[in-house]
Chains A and B, each alone.
Chain A
Amino acid sequence: MTAYHFLSLSIWLPILAGILVLAAGSDAHPARVRWIALVGALLGFAVTLPLYGGFQDDTPAMQFVELASWIPAFNITYHLGVDGISLWFILLNSFMTILVVIAGWVVIEKRLSQYMAAFLIMSGLINGVFAALDAILFYVFFEAMLIPMYLIIGVWGGPRRVYAALKFFLYTLLGSLLMLAAFIYLYFEAGGSFEILRFQMLPLPLGVQILIFIAFFLSFAVKVPMWPVHTWLPDAHVEAPTGGSVILAAITLKIGAYGFLRFNLPITPDASHALSGAMIALSLIAVVYIGLVALVQNDMKKLVAYSSISHMGFVTLGIFMFNAMGVEGGLLQMISHGFISGAMFLCIGVLYDRMHSRQISDYGGVVNTMPRFAAFFMLFAMANAGLPGTSGFIGEFIVTLSAVQVNFWYAALAATTLVFGAAYTLWMYKRVVFGEVANAHVAGLKDIGCRETLFLAVLVLAVLGMGLYPKVITDTLHASVQQLVEQASTPKF
């Protein structure tokens, strides 16, 4: 297994492609830039496929491990590996990058090469976050990722882009700096090692665990984002270009939940249990309250942004149920949300590229002029509402099921999302797509072309495929999740 360097490739190939795009592409040759970027993204996805092909379902151990000394002075290693928890995020990320490149194909006119390069570099860095098994390596990827994202929002975003970009950066940095302090503390506790797996074995007294939990929590809760540190997300989403929104919603939010699974639960299990009440409360507030907030949005992107927060509330709820079903449900919900939210933002992007408005009130009767698009949008809206048969249903269903086992009322509150989710998504859909043609702009809309049909169709396959046959994914999760749940239930002091 160690003979292959697929993880390294999945990290460095997109980054190299990004540098190549920067070097080769000037805005005078947009075609060249696009094709290099597409080839880079496709290759980047291709090298992640063997990760799934060669993955062994029956072991919770890290696979495709690569270990090399990086900075011996601090015993920092270049240590990569995946287990069932991280595997799918690498695939998802590399896959979404292709869609982002295609989605930005003709739409981005300003500094195209820098745009493509930023996405490719970020794609590599995100793969690094999911594959890193050394805390500093993780931190380096985690932080470095902020810079391209900051530029993506700030350079290619909407009118309030600069404010949104700064808010995004500073919120995230606050959390991660405290996490760095926690890492350094654990480094000394672990006898001079930054190995995440060794951190997980450390016996720590409850007081220390709680402090470390809080440091991690601040870092990851901002990323998820959990209520009440979610306020950067609607701003960032609304102002980001379509591709930025897709990557933000589909991938970077998952890093927060992944962090809970990789750091909080195994490293500070007792603190996790001690504080689980608060975590569950925050998750339920996100699910219910943010669901209601989504209902009253006038801006389509904002609506989907709030719906993302609400859906991520399900993920954190599942995680803090401390049973295998909850964690698996959370993971499924994350993967599914990656596809669905990505698709929703791409759909809104399709409309925005034509109308340059995200206001629901500017639309109406789109189905009359864009029937093909309306069909795709319908399916994704249903998936976002959690329709059985789509991927959106499974995760929510399993998490609710696991919550019933713990406390009926948790489940009852969580299940309200099936109502609210349907309400805000379908209501928006109705106002935008159905009815009379609202104005001359809508009357002049052109239906989607081949390029747009292509990326939406691919996502339809993903959403339906996962909804109808989730076993492909769940089989790879069991072993790792089982081990995680055991770690999380074993007291450490």
Chain B
Amino acid sequence: MSFATPTLVPVYPEIFLLVALSAILLADLFISEPRRFLTYAYTQLALVGTAAFLVLGATGEVTTLFGGMFVDDPMARTLKLVAVLAVALMLAYARVYNQQRGLFRGEFHVLILFALLGIMVMVSANHFLVLYLGLELLSLSLCALIALQRDSARATEAAMKYFVLAALASGLLLYGLSMLYGATGSLQMALVSDAIMSGASDPAILVFGLVFVVAGLAFKLGAVPFHMWVPDVYEGAPTAVTLFVSTAPKIAAFAFFMRLLVGALGPLVSDWQTMLVIVAVLSMLVGNVTAIAQTNFKRMLAYSTISHMGFLLLGILSGSVGGFAAAMFYVVAYVLMSLAAFGIMLLLSRDGFEADQLEDFKGLNKRSPWTAFMMLLVMISMAGVPVSVGFFAKLSVLSAVLDAGMTWLVVYAVLMSLVGAFYYLRVIKLMYMDEPVDDTPLQGEADHRALIGVNSLAILVLGILPQPLIDLCMVSITQSMRG
């Protein structure tokens, strides 16, 4: 350890993002309504800049900063990059939708950037309080975003629900963290881990705290039995915000599990493994079975998300490096699929019409074969049928679980994906086998269509050649775990 001034290079992306978003916040005040497009352009530029800092500053090393509060490792770099790309894509998908609904405002863009900053802080947190700081930044921004459509009663209701339940979950989490602090005397992940390893702390208090931590984490992930907010928020929020909620924060949630459970509480793996098994088993069951009964597309995707999060947990609970890499692969694949699914929904929406019912997909093949085919790819990927990235995501997770010796869990998960296939197939059925109820030609800008194409074809291409993504996840995890 030298006493030199700490270099700030590893936090450049966060600093840049913060500066850029503050500048956008100010600049937006001086942009007149007809030229609002500038705000959008600046936001995209800010994201490009952040991505550039992330890529250029990548060292492949594990560096800690600020007295060990902040950690920069390959896993963090990769996850942040995925989050930034997801946000950029999401903003592009949402542009027209927002313009038509009066959401194309500075607040929307700045809040999204704040949420992204929260995600990036969480991903790099190496200290309980930093983690909490990032989490609250994300949650509060999300809450405001959900309520952004002031006049919509549903949006306000969703925001209220989210706020109250998020506060409760934060309370649980903080309570759990305080227990851990009491037992180990530290708030820093590595030190907590060392303290538990040394065996000096009281196991009863540790496990007691762990229960609360897992409950808080499960809430953030939207896993059963802490999933109640997910369908309501998905349904109530404007689709553009739902798109955001269902993508980038899942990356943060994954990092949250990795930092807290694997990083700090790794020695308690046998305790949290059992808890996660229960949560995962319930999530897959409730998510898949309830999704069948939905008629609202957003709610259906909400339940489908719950089941996907169950699958994601399978990777984490297998407790091996391979399992963590599989879970990371899964989360990236999931973000890709979710972006495309909501992106297509936004493409189908138009002024005064939300394409949020399953019925709205009827006969899509007649209206636009290309869009229908893209949606087909997304649906087979979500169902985990080859040739799609979703299949390999499931395969990696399942093989990690089997490697951990839980054969019954593999069989269970496999049966649950059969249940899941039913409602994904129903979407395909609606698009291809039913007559359209609504013959309006699809609107949507050329850039939106092109990006949907890229996004969906990425699902296909990664389903044929998944190796680069698997490698990326594996390398990120192994290099980060080594440190």
Q: Which residues of A contact B (CB under 8 A)?
A: 70-74, 111, 114, 136, 139-140, 143-144, 146-147, 150-151, 154-155, 161-162, 165-166, 169-170, 173-174, 177-178, 180-181, 184-185, 187-188
Which of B387, B395, B396, B402 has the most chain A CB within a 10 Å cutoff?
B395
Q: Which residue of A lies closest to B394 (CB)?
A: A180
Residues in chain B near residue A170, CB distance under 8 A: 418, 421-422, 425
Spell out B's residues near A (CB within 8 Å): 365, 369, 376, 380, 385-387, 391-392, 395-396, 398-399, 402-403, 407, 410-411, 414-415, 417-418, 421-422, 425, 428-429, 432-433, 466-467, 470-471, 474
A165 / chain B contacts, CB cutoff of 8 Å: 429, 433
B421 and A154 contacting across the interface, CB-CB below 8 Å:
no
Of A73, A169, A180, A187, the residue contacting B425 (CB under 8 A) is A169
Rounded to whole Å, the gap between the CB of A207 and the closest CB of chain B is: 12
Task: Report whether A150 and B425 are in contact in the complex, using a CB–CB cutoff of 8 Å.
Answer: yes
Q: Which of A147, A154, A174 contacts B429 (CB 8 A)?
A: A154
A144 and B387 contact, CB distance less than 8 A: yes
A166's contact among B376, B395, B414, B425, by CB below 8 Å, is which?
B425
Q: Can you pick out 18 interface pairs between chain A and chain B where the beta carbons lie within 8 Å of each other? A: A73-B471, A143-B385, A144-B385, A147-B376, A150-B425, A151-B428, A154-B432, A166-B422, A170-B418, A170-B421, A173-B385, A178-B411, A181-B407, A184-B398, A184-B410, A185-B407, A187-B399, A188-B399
Q: A73 touching B395 by the CB < 8 A rule?
A: no
Give the distance in Å from the alpha carbon of A77 to the alpha carbon of B392 in the complex: 14
Taking a contact as CB atoms closer than 8 A, the residue among B410, B421, B422 that contacts A181 in the complex is B410
The 10 closest A-B pairs by CB, nearest first: A140-B386, A177-B414, A73-B470, A154-B433, A184-B399, A143-B386, A184-B402, A181-B410, A144-B387, A71-B467
Given contacts A73-B471, A140-B386, A155-B365, 6 further A-B contacts (CB under 8 A): A74-B396, A74-B399, A144-B385, A144-B387, A177-B418, A180-B414
Determine whether the beta carbon of B433 is less than 8 Å from that of A188: no
Cα-based distance from A197 to B321 in the complex (angstroms): 29
Contact between A161 and B433 (Cβ–Cβ < 8 Å)?
A: yes
Closest chain-A Cβ to B351's Cβ sits at a distance in Å of 29
A352 → chain B, closest Cβ, in Å? 20
CB-CB < 8 A to A174: which residues of B? 415, 418
Is B433 touching A71 in the complex (CB atoms < 8 A)?
Answer: no
The chain A residue sitting closest to B463, CB to CB, is A140
CB <8 Å contact, B402 and A188: yes
A162 and chain B: residue at smallest CB distance = B433
Give the complex CA separation of A70 and B411 in angstroms: 26
Chain A residue, CB-CB nearest to B388? A144
Knowing A73-B467, A173-B418, A184-B398, say if A166 contacts B429 (CB, 8 Å). yes
CB-CB under 8 A from B380, the residues of chain A are 147
**Nearest residue, chain B, Cβ from A151:** B432
Q: Shortest distance in angstroms between A70's beta carbon and chain B's nearest beta carbon?
A: 8
Is the Cβ of B418 less than 8 Å from the Cβ of A181? Answer: no
Inter-chain contacts of A144 with B (CB < 8 A): 385-387
Interchain CA distance A71-B410 in the complex, whole Å: 21
* Min CB–CB distance A43 → chain B (angstroms): 22
Q: Which residues of A contact B422 (CB under 8 A)?
A: 166, 170
| B386 contact from A72, A139, A166, Cβ within 8 A | A139
**What are the residues of chain A within 8 A of B410 when measuring CB–CB?**
181, 184
Q: Which residues of A contact B399 (CB under 8 A)?
A: 74, 184, 187-188
Cα distance, A151 to B430, chains bound together (Å): 11
- Given the complex of chains A and B, what is the CA–CA distance between A174 and B425 in angstroms? 14
Closest partner residue, chain B, to A175 (CB atom) = B418
Give Cα A320 to B403, complex, Å: 33
Query: Could you tell me the distance in whole angstroms from the C-beta of A128 to the nearest C-beta in chain B?
Result: 11
Give bound CA distance, A242 to B392, whole Å: 34
Q: A150 contacts B428, CB within 8 Å?
A: yes
Please tell me if the beta carbons of A73 and B429 are within 8 angstroms of each other in the complex.
no
With A114-B369, A151-B432, A180-B395 as known contacts, state yes or no: A71 contacts B386, CB within 8 Å.
Answer: no
With both chains docked as a complex, state the minimum distance between the C-beta of A86 and any C-beta of chain B, in angstroms.
Answer: 20
Asked if B402 and A185 make an inter-chain contact with CB atoms under 8 angstroms apart, the answer reads yes
Q: Is the CB of A178 within 8 A of B414?
A: yes
Give the complex CA separation of A187 and B395 in angstroms.
12
**A151 and B372 alpha carbons, distance in the complex (Å):** 12
A466 → chain B closest CB, angstroms: 34
In the complex, the answer to whether B417 meets A177 with C-beta atoms within 8 Å is: yes
A155 to B403, CA, bound (A): 41
Q: Is B411 within 8 A of A140, CB to CB? A: no
Contact A181 B466 (CB under 8 A): no
B470 touches A71 (CB 8 A): yes
* Closest chain B CB from A54 CB (angstroms): 28
User: A136, B429: Cβ atoms under 8 Å?
Assistant: no
Distance from B42 Cβ to chain A, minimum over Cβ atoms (Å): 38
Report the Cα distance A151→B432, complex, angstroms.
7
With A and B bound together, what is the CA distance between A146 and B380 in angstroms?
11
A139 to B470, CA, bound (A): 19
Complex contact A71–B466 (CB within 8 A): yes
- Chain B proximity of A178: nearest CB distance (Å): 6
Q: How far is the CA of A50 from the CA of B460 in the complex (A)?
A: 31
Docked Cα-Cα span, A184 to B401, in Å, equals 10
Which of A139, A154, A188 contacts B403 (CB under 8 A)? Answer: A188
Per the bound structure, the CA–CA distance linking A171 and B154 in Å amounts to 40
Rounded to whole Å, the gap between the CB of A27 and the closest CB of chain B is 10
- Complex Cα distance, B391 from A73, in Å, reads 15
A74 touches B386 (CB 8 A): no
Q: How far is the CA of A151 from the CA of B369 in the complex (A)?
A: 13
A72 vs B474: C-alpha distance when bound (angstroms)? 12
Kindly state the separation between the CA atoms of A74 and B473 in the bound complex, as whole angstroms. 14
Least CB distance from B426 to A in Å reads: 8
A255 CB to closest chain B CB, in angstroms? 15
Q: Which residues on A sit within 8 Å (CB–CB) of B396?
A: 73-74
Residue of A nearest to B386 (CB): A140
B386 to chain A, nearest CB (A): 4
A446 to chain B, nearest CB (A): 31
Q: Give complex CA distance A114, B471 in Å.
A: 36
Known contacts: A150-B428, A165-B429, A184-B395. The answer to whether A173 contacts B421 by CB under 8 A is: yes
The residue on A at minimum CB distance from B417 is A177
Chain B residues with CB under 8 Å of A151's CB are 428, 432
A166 CA to B434 CA in the complex, in Å? 14
Q: Which residues of A contact B417 (CB under 8 A)?
A: 177
Cα separation A72 to B471 with both chains bound (whole Å): 9
* Chain A residue nearest in CB terms to B433: A154
Task: Give chain B residues whose Cβ lies under 8 Å from the Cβ of A139.
Answer: 386
**How far apart are the CA atoms of A299 and B59 in the complex, in Å?**
70
Write the nearest CB–CB distance from A156 to chain B, whole angstroms. Answer: 10
- A163–B22 Cα distance when bound, in Å, is 56
Q: From A69, which residue of chain B is reached at the shortest CB distance?
A: B467
Residues of A within 8 A of B407 (CB): 181, 185
**Cβ contact of B387, chosen from A73, A74, A140, A161, cutoff 8 A:** A140
Q: Chain A contacts of B398 at CB under 8 A?
A: 180-181, 184
Cβ-closest chain B residue relative to A180: B414
Residues of the A chain whose Cβ atoms lie less than 8 Å from the Cβ of B428: 150-151
**CA A170 – CA B425 in complex, angstroms?**
9
- Please, which residue of chain A has its CB at the minimum distance from the CB of B322? A73
